[in-house]
Amino acid sequence: MKRLFFFALLIGYLIPLNAQIDRTTPPEPGPAPLIQIGDYQTFTLDNGMKVIVVENDKIPVVSFQLTLDIDPVMENEAKGYVSMAGSLMRSGTISRSKAAIDEEIDFMGASLSTHSRGMFASSLTRHTDNLLDLMSDILFNPTFPQEELEREVNQTISALSTVMTDASAMVSNISAVLLYGENHPYGEITTRESVSNITRDLLVEYYDTYFKPDAAYMVIVGDIKTGEARELMTRYFAGWESGDVPIHHYETPAPPGGNKVAFADRAGAVQSIVNLTYPVELEPGAPDAIQVSVMNSILGGGVFSSRLMQNLREDKGYTYGARSSLSSDRLVGRFNVRTEVRNSVTDSTVAIILYEMERMINEPVDQENLELVKNFMNGSFARSLESPRTIAGFALNIELYNLPDDYYETYLERLSRVTAQEVQQAARKYIRPGNSYIIVGGNKSEVAETLKKFSHNQEVLFFDPFGRKLEETSTVAPEGLTAESVIENYISAAGGADNMRRIEDISITMDATVQGMTLDMTILQKTPDMVNITMSVGGSIMQQQIFDGTRGMASGIQGTMELEGDMLEELKSQAVMNPELSYTESGYSLSLDGIENINGEPAYKLIITSPSGKSKLEFFGVGSGLKLRTVAALDTPMGSMSQVTDYDNYRDVEGVKFPFLIKQQMGPQAFDLTVRSIEINQGLRDDLFRID
């Protein structure tokens, strides 16, 4: 038996209300409380599976967590298959279909999930036998049905489309690539291409290779006795055949030789995601792990009084939150700072982060702040002990990382002894303000140039949303090229002015999936300058906008309103058929603002300003001439927001090219509109655009 003691609270004497308290000096810290974390027992089956049992009979529930102690795997051209192998284990067995598994789980009121390194199941104690029968069947006999794999692949590819306009996801991908490199499993990025390469054979191969009892830990928590647990484990898992599990070795990534700046373009973004990061060698249970945790908490690790929060939020008002982390890992740890700020203060934010990192190294923390952070960590640790799963996690960590038996028992005692000098020593060892990756996702045209000063070589590296470095391209348009000639090239590429002018009316139907619902949209347009835009769900109209050439109207669930001001002007502009044909005559001003990369393709960037003074950006492919993206600022009840619309999959319809895939994002919302049909000159009636 190994023992982790129960947590005991020490209760002091109550101070009389009329007692005089000296508030000029902080109170002396008391002795570290005794930690008693609870009993756990271990045993090992003949096949090598190790079992940890944490008894807790407070409620009649028991849970089983199977964890594989294996090295991460390089997935190469099929990145994503390991995760799918884990998630699809519960999609069917030799004797049970996915529907049958789901039905059994529902009947028991249980939960059961699988992942690439094991599985978890929980139920009322009276269902333990049935739950373990189901759990062992899923573990021993998964079939990885082809139809479920195809569904998972399609869903993943669909989800990946949002990465193209999600600055946070872009930054995460670039961070992984720069931190770990392409030859490390942590540096592999899931893409449409890699997911398309996933096969059922890969899933089966991963399962056959790594799901072995020799590498498995079963953690049991709840209303169960150790003797009963031993009998159940033997009955249901002794037949699991043992086998050697491959061991993988990877080169440990190192921080950059000097600060490097990387950028992901999110055209039209009004805010930037700022991420400063680098790898560190910090294994779980390292001798200075507690000092490192205290140091990071002071810098920005979740304490509201942290230096990053106080400087960036309370003093400057740049952000709602700024957090740092310094995580341990058996292969390689990581230091990370992340925040989101408006474009105009992006460079100032980077400067403040670097300043606070330098200050951690050069200035010892004052005793009052140190005690405040230690008290916070003390309380967090104590509260975590209320969950039996915490005890199980501690027990598993001791086994996985070969920690001393009393590692958690003595945690608060060791925390109480951390000094300001040790905090500064930890900062000097792990904080590297001159050897960091500074990664920003945001509006390239407004932000990128301001970040060059932070790079050791005054260079900003540009990456696509999936962490692939973009080749250097000229950002200057060819001499003599004008915005008007770019528009002329677009008109020619789209089918020519004559074909575009002969369109008198057009009907477009499209659909999108938004929050699991299918949204249908119909756009009816007729010259001169009439439009009817209808959005419906399940046949019920949710919103409709009509412009009859003079007046605009919007109706929806909340009623009907006549449009005025900017809203009327926006709808009026949408009513114009092929507006590019008449920009000059309509009083628009156009300017060419260089070349930018749009989804891997160089594009001319045009600033188009309406007669009312409102501007938008439009991007036209250098090679194709077609419109690739529009960026416009819209006034919403939540304030000004940037709307980004990408156009793809152009097809010819009666001599004119139209995009059949339209990707749109505004704020956190992103969806793909797939065009189902386009009909031209069908003789649309005027009453379709009438406003009563």
pLDDT tens figures, 68-84: 999 999 999 999 999 99
Strand 118-124, strand 111-115: pairing: antiparallel
For residues 592 and 620, membership in a common domain is answered with yes
Lowest mean pLDDT among 147-151, 503-507, 571-575, 590-594: 571-575
For residues 291 and 434, membership in a common domain is answered with yes
If pLDDT is split at 50, 70 and 90, which confidence band does 205 have? very high
Query: Can you tell me which residue has the tokens 């294996």?
Result: 70
Q: What is the rounded distance in angstroms from the CA atom of residue 160 to the CA atom of residue 155?
A: 9
CATH code for position 578:
2.50.20.10
Residue 627 counted as domain residue? yes
- What pLDDT does 665 receive? 78
- What pLDDT does 526 receive? 95
For residues 527 and 641, membership in a common domain is answered with yes
Query: Can you tell me which residue has the tokens 């990664």?
Result: 439
Structure tokens at 529: 């300058």
For residues 649 and 605, membership in a common domain is answered with yes
For residues 533 and 455, membership in a common domain is answered with no
If pLDDT is split at 50, 70 and 90, which confidence band does 10 have? very low
249 DSSP 8-state letter: -
For residues 452 and 533, membership in a common domain is answered with no
- What pLDDT does 43 receive? 96
Residue 672 counted as domain residue? yes
Name the residue range of residue 574's domain. 483-689
For residues 435 and 317, membership in a common domain is answered with yes
Rounded percentage of the chain residues whose pLDDT exceeds 90:
71
Contact present, 525 and 688 (Cβ < 8 Å): no
Residue 353 counted as domain residue? yes
Structure tokens at 267: 């055209």
- Mapping DSSP to helix (H, G, I), strand (E, B) and coil, where does residue 204 land? helix
Distances (CA, A) of 589 to 492, 562, 579, 614: 20, 29, 13, 10
Residue 554 counted as domain residue? yes
pLDDT at 185 over 60: yes
- What pLDDT does 473 receive? 62
For residues 313 and 346, membership in a common domain is answered with yes
Report the pLDDT averaged over residues 48-55.
Answer: 95
pLDDT at 114 over 90: yes
Report the pLDDT averaged over residues 109-129.
Answer: 96
pTM of full prediction above 0.85: no
Residue 147 counted as domain residue? no
- What pLDDT does 540 receive? 87
Which of the two residues, 526 and 383, has the higher pLDDT score? 526
For residues 487 and 458, membership in a common domain is answered with no
CATH code for position 292:
3.30.830.10
Residue 289 counted as domain residue? yes
Tell the burial category of 338 from Cβ atoms under 10 Å away from its Cβ (0-12, 13-18, 19+).
buried
Q: What is the rounded distance in angstroms from the CA atom of residue 23 to the CA atom of residue 205?
A: 66
- What pLDDT does 640 receive? 62
The three-state DSSP-derived secondary structure of 309-376 is HHHHHHHCCCCCCEEEEEECCCCCEEEEEEEEEEHHHHHHHHHHHHHHHHHHHHCCCCHHHHHHHHHH
427 closest CA partner among 329, 280, 261, 323: 280
| Cα diameter, the chain | 92
If pLDDT is split at 50, 70 and 90, which confidence band does 636 have? low
Report the pLDDT averaged over residues 606-626.
Answer: 91
For residues 458 and 499, membership in a common domain is answered with no
Across the chain, mean pLDDT equals 89
Q: What is the rounded distance in angstroms from the CA atom of residue 353 to the CA atom of residue 361?
A: 13
pLDDT at 637 over 70: no
31 closest CA partner among 381, 412, 297: 412
Angle, CA of 483, 488 and 490, to the nearest 5°:
95
For residues 427 and 300, membership in a common domain is answered with yes
Report the pLDDT averaged over residues 646-651.
Answer: 94
Structure tokens at 432: 């590297």
Q: Looking at the 3D structure of the chain, how many domains does it have?
A: 2
Residue 381 counted as domain residue? yes
- What pLDDT does 11 receive? 26
If pLDDT is split at 50, 70 and 90, which confidence band does 31 have? low
Cβ neighbors of 341 (< 8 A, separation 6 or more) are 271, 272, 274, 312, 318, 319, 349
If pLDDT is split at 50, 70 and 90, which confidence band does 3 have? very low
For residues 297 and 327, membership in a common domain is answered with yes
Residue 34 counted as domain residue? no
